[in-house]
Structure 1
Amino acid sequence: MSSTAVAKLGTVVLDCPDPDALARFYAGLLGGEPKADGPDWVNLAGYEGTPLAFQAAPGFVPPRWPAPEGSQQFHLDLTVDDLDAAEERVLGLGAKPLDTADRDRSWRVYADPAGHPFCLCAC
């Protein structure tokens, strides 16, 4: 850690209604295996990348994209080699397209099964 840093990124945690189901979605997308640490927390273990975890959130309301009245909070950019092939796979895993109409762009926007937006990027 640099002398000016206060902290380093440890884990990205996604709130959701069903941590196990969302962890299985991301395991299919990124690799790895869901590892439960209690009924309300699941880690995605065994893949190369920033640690990712899923936490039960009672009353969860998914972010809106695009969000004309507020913000989407954050989204994940996931790098792929082939947008069309990656799109087919994420849709098969349960993703929903949010903005995929412009096929000439180097990115497309989807929502995971809990409604979190993410982009597939061939950048």
Structure 2
Amino acid sequence: MAVATLGTVVLDCPDPRALASFYAEVLGGTVEAEGEADWVDLRLPGGRTLAFQAAPGHVPPKWPAPDGSQQFHLDLTVEDMDAAEKEILALGAKVLETGDQERGWRVYADPAGHPFCLCAT
């Protein structure tokens, strides 16, 4: 029996509202923030929540970095890799690695520097 269930994945970043808006464009959903918003929730279709927390002095992870951990990354499944790449780059993502075309993935950084992958269905 499981001890817990996954609630929310939280990303530290310099500007929670801006990063939540980026992921809202990528994944859909509704950005929810109150006041100055050191914490912003992105309510995703299907009921999951992705949250963003202000982290003064945030230092983005490096990709790849054998001398430093990336901490985690998100795998985002897409139907049309080229179309999805065009859209995320227009939103401010940066290419980190072209990935493995045979296995169907490519690596990017979001505007705050967190790595994420687009993965073919």
TM-score by length of 1: 0.90
Q: 1:18 aligns with which of 15, 21, 24?
A: 15
1:115 offset after TM fit, Å? 0.3
Supply the distance in 1 between the matched residues of 2:99 and 2:106 (Cα, whole angstroms): 8
Structure with bigger strand share is 2
In structure 1, the residue matched to 2:76 is: 78
- Would you say how many aligned residue pairs link Structure 1 and Structure 2? 120
Q: 2:97 aligns with which of 96, 99, 109?
A: 99
After the TM superposition, which residues 1-123 of structure 1 pair with which residues of structure 2 at under 5 Å, given as runs?
4-38=1-35, 39-48=37-46, 50-100=48-98, 103-123=101-121
Task: Name the SS of the counterpart of 1:100 in structure 2.
Answer: strand
Equivalent residues of 2:30, 2:43 under 8 A apart: yes
Residues 1:37 and 1:8: Cα distance change in structure 2 (over 3 Å): farther
Q: Deviation at 1:6?
A: 1.1
Q: Which runs of 5+ in 1 are unaligned?
A: none
RMSD: 1.5
Tell me the distance in 2 between the aligned counterparts of 1:49 and 1:97. 29
In 1, Cα distance between the equivalents of 2:86 and 2:46?
22
Asked whether the equivalents of residues 32 and 45 of structure 1 are also in contact (C-alpha less than 8 Å), the reply is: yes
SS of residue paired to 2:117 = strand
CA contact (8 A) 1:111 1:118 kept: yes
- 1:63 CA drift (Å): 0.9
In the alignment, residue 107 of structure 1 is paired with which amino acid?
Answer: W
Quote how far apart the aligned CAs of 1:31 are.
Answer: 0.4
After superposition, what is the alpha-carbon deviation per residue over 1:29-73, rounded to whole angstroms, capped at 9, x for unaligned?
Answer: 000121104420110125235310100011111111101202111
SS in 2 for 1:64: coil
- Deviation per CA, 1:80-107, whole angstroms, max 9, x where unpaired? 0011011001001110000016545400
TM-score by length of 2: 0.91
Q: Compute the displacement of 1:75 (Å).
A: 0.2
